[in-house]
Chains A and B, each alone.
Chain A
Amino acid sequence: MFWTFLSRSIRFSTIFLYGSTGEIITEKSGHLNLGVPGVMCIGAVGGCLGINAYLKTLGSAADMSAFGVVIIGILCALLAGALAGLLFSFFTVTLRCNQNVTGLTLTTFGAAFMKFMLGDLENSSSVVNLGTASRAFTQSMLPSEPSNWFEQLFLSYGVLVYLAIAIAIAAAIILKRTRTGLNLRAVGENPATADAAGISVGKYRYLSTILGCAIAALGGLFYIMDSLGGALEFTVDAYGWMAVALVIFSIWKPNWAILGSILFGALYIAPNYLLNLSFSEKEIIKLLPYIVTVLVLIITSIFGKRSVQPPAALGTTYFREER
């Protein structure tokens, strides 16, 4: 029972992990992208439309290759997310718009865009196709049901779960231990300094935002194709906000985000495992992640340690000749 709960938490946490890893990479460059929920929606749209188009060319969903579906789904979601990131960067870097406003607009746009683009699929035969395709995503490497706790905890997931953790670990290493990461952090901490050191602030901001949005977009794909098993539900943006909160919770470190997302995932699905709870008690448990985030904010600002603070230039635009 406990192992099942834990493995479900890990699986569910993947949505948050994609969103927050992407957002951490973006925020490290000093870009506060509040459009993450919208980007996740856009990623879901890209992935679903890509898979749908692929299955349509096949004629019958039964002929699909699992590998092809997964690759096409991932690539289309990445592309859709990257385009959203490009749009965001164009507004905030090139046109120097306010990041909060642009981000919130992107969120509103993304949620509506998802309904607009996928609304038609919902009432057509495509829904069946997506259901079939989702098996390629949920397929674990085990031939049968997990038989012990080890298999349950480590081997029972679809490919996107492992990918999320791999990306988070890679992001943590790149941020901490490479010059690319050092330069990126410098851009987020003090763009004028980075610029004077010969780092192109605009380039770093563009690329990190595009990459971050592409990663976040996979969260939307995961939600539809893995969590929901191909069913279309338009509530992705709610999880996007959790991902934004998780960025603060994990104090801008992708490796912490792995643990944080599991905690958030566990709290989110815990009500389903705790019987004898009233509706309101269940909702309160679902609220806990936000409360924990507020606590983390309070604790980090009380101790005021410099290494756990947000990037100093977060949310600001940079223009070299400003005086």
Chain B
Amino acid sequence: MEKTVAIELRGITKTFGDVVANKNVDLDVYRGEILSILGENGSGKTTLMNMIAGIYFPDEGHIYINGEEVVIKSPKDAFAHRIGMIHQHFKLVDTFSAADNIILGEKCPKFDLKAERAKLVEAHKAENEAYENYDEAEHPGPLAYMKKPKFHSEKETKRRLALMPLTGIWKKIKFNWLAKKRADVVQDIANRFGFKIDLKKKIYDMSVSEKQTVEIIKVLYRGADILILDEPTAVLTPQEIEKLFDVLRNMKAAGKSIIIITHKLNEVMEISDRVAVLRKGEHIATVNTADTNEQQLTEMMVGKKVSLNIDRTEPHDVKNRLVVSGLSAVDPDGVKVLDNVSFEARSGEILGIAGIAGSGQRQLLEAIAGLYKVKEGSITYFDPSKDDAPVDLRSKTPVQIRDLGVRLSFVPEDRLGMGLVGNMDLIDNMMLRSYRKGFMFLDRKSPKKLAETIVEELEVVTPSTHTAVRKLSGGNVQKVLVGREIAASPSVLMAAYPVRGLDINSSYTIYNLLNDQKEKGVAVIFVGEDLDVLIELCDRILVICAGRVTGVVDGRRAIKEQIGLLMTKTSHDVDENQISIDDLHTESENDTANSEGGDAQ
């Protein structure tokens, strides 16, 4: 069977400020195939697809559809080229019914006055001819006159032609009017495609999978030939995923091109014909799914091991500092974001947390910091100043946690949202941690000194300590934040993606800072995305996937592919072939059990 190319990308490059999201990407998508796009977070998959869908505009490169070069400047242009995208965060208006969401933005078919006029003249001419050739004898019967062609005089034709523009306006008005029956029209189409869903329901009354179905119907209704799905299975149950895959296979059989972005290797193997792998914004390779396996894909996704030469000292005087056991939490929509998470962070050790972004890392750290509501489980802190007496941290506010004398520092992922106040200067940001000190008036002297120390020691590039933090570059912002958190002399330091967006030198500054803390006996928790860094920096690496712990590996013995597989394992795979958990972990499980016993007393 000859395969025809539906869409070709050539040399696509897109940058956001200094960050290169896509670099010189070439990609072909054929008709009637399902192409998976695979890559770690931040590898530029969504950005690339957004450029096809008209959300972003590429800086460089060309896009060809059916062999012709096109320019896609906006979602409107994408529609015109019959491209439909289902975004990871659904683009639906909550307060509208599903049907209204589907017809949203639909354009009135263009009324071509010239063509319509020509059509009318032709029709009249044809009918007049029929009238002339009509022989009454050939059509007997009492009702024959009803079938008799009508004669259109020249005058009538002229009048109709003159009134033609009004027909155009009337059609526009009629199109613009929202009939009460509009939901039925859309419902009919949905039924014909085989979807079982009530489209009169409001979106806010719908489940996640229903919302996704609405998105798919929307794209089909708009008549898309190229369908892009951005992580469609992330929010679905296994049964719902099966249903979705059936829909996709039917669409593929109907000759549509489907591009599906996903992290889950088993799904890639199950649904796709070909797999394109992106890494750090670059297209690594496109392979036929039948010719590859999970191992090989993981290797392409994570890349060859790179030596970073981060110093790692042997941990000494290791003690349990923070023990989390059986922690579960749900998000506001009722979706489980943490599922029975247990681990322990030890003093003098760096515990890495690896996982696809959005697997629950943020919620885990926020739960420990007292910012996220916990449903089940316990968080226990062992206070070094009180001879390691256990302190229960579960369901405490950050202020309560601090008042208990728990020295917990948190470097959140959202630096200028949760960590620092962008519009305030360095000194004021230091004071966010010390504003309660002093009597009546704020103590500004010590924060100023602290800010100056941080600027000097961490080589923060800033005009002065009075500069608004938001004006600093990303690396310097991070240095200020980490500096402040370390200055509080924590016994537990949690850092989420502390080197994200930082250049190589700033990254090393941060690694060294974390290592210093480790040597001082702090229990460091490091959430990272670069597996090379995690393996070289961390003593132990906790891998989580979809809110569950899928394994704990020793940083010194870890292999990248092993972590990569753990990151993409779905829950039932884990139970079947649990990756050998190192001896450290089994030993610590006993500790956990002991500490739970201690809590109960």
Question: Which A residues contact B (CB, under 8 angstroms)?
Answer: 176-183, 185-186, 189-190, 192-200, 306-307, 309, 312, 320-321, 323
Contacts and interface: CB of A to CB of B under 8 A. Distances in A.
B178 A196 contact: no
- Complex A-B, nearest 8 residue pairs according to Cβ-Cβ distance, in ascending order: A197-B105, A193-B91, A198-B76, A198-B105, A196-B91, A199-B105, A197-B104, A189-B93
A183 B103 CA distance: 10
Interface of A, secondary structure class, is helix
A323 B76 contact: no
Contact of A321 (B56, B96, B103, B105): B56
Interface in B164-212: 175-178, 202, 204
Nearest to B57: A321
Contacts of B92: 190, 193
- Which one of B53, B87, B91 has the greatest number of beta carbons of chain A within 10 Å? B91
Contacts of A177: 177-178
A185 B96 CA distance: 9
Contacts of B95: 185, 189, 306-307, 309, 312
B79 interface: yes
A190 B55 CA distance: 15
Given A194-B104, A197-B105, A198-B107, A179 B175 contact: yes
Given A177-B177, A179-B175, A320-B55, A186 B94 contact: no
Contacts of B474: none
Contacts of B74: 195, 198
B441 interface: no
Contacts of B53: 196
Given A186-B96, A190-B93, A197 B178 contact: no
Contacts of A192: 91
Q: How large is the interface on B (under 10, 10 to 19, 20 to 34, 35 or more residues)?
A: 20 to 34
Interface string B209-243: 00000000000000000000000000000000000
B439 interface: no
A308 to B, nearest CB: 10
A122 B178 CA distance: 50
B104 A306 contact: no
A186 B93 CA distance: 6
Interface string B45-64: 00000000101110000000
Interface string B80-96: 00000101000111111
B262 to A, nearest CB: 21
Contact of A323 (B16, B85, B100): B16
A306 B177 contact: no
Contact of B178 (A178, A189, A199, A323): A178
Given A190-B91, A197-B91, A312-B95, A179 B75 contact: no
Contacts of B93: 185-186, 189-190, 193-194
B106 interface: yes
A49 to B, nearest CB: 35
23 contacts: A177-B177, A178-B178, A179-B175, A180-B176, A182-B96, A182-B104, A182-B178, A185-B93, A185-B96, A186-B104, A194-B104, A194-B105, A195-B74, A196-B53, A196-B75, A196-B91, A197-B91, A197-B105, A198-B76, A198-B107, A200-B76, A307-B95, A312-B95
Interface string B22-61: 0000000000000000000000000000000101110000
Contacts of A195: 74-75
B85 A196 contact: yes
B177 A183 contact: no
- Which one of A176, A309, A323 has the greatest number of beta carbons of chain B within 10 Å? A323
Nearest to A189: B93
Contacts of B94: 189-190, 306, 312
Contacts of A196: 53, 55, 75, 85, 87, 91
Given A189-B96, A198-B76, A323-B16, A179 B106 contact: yes
A320 B93 CA distance: 17
Contacts of A180: 176
B459 to A, nearest CB: 29
B176 A198 contact: no
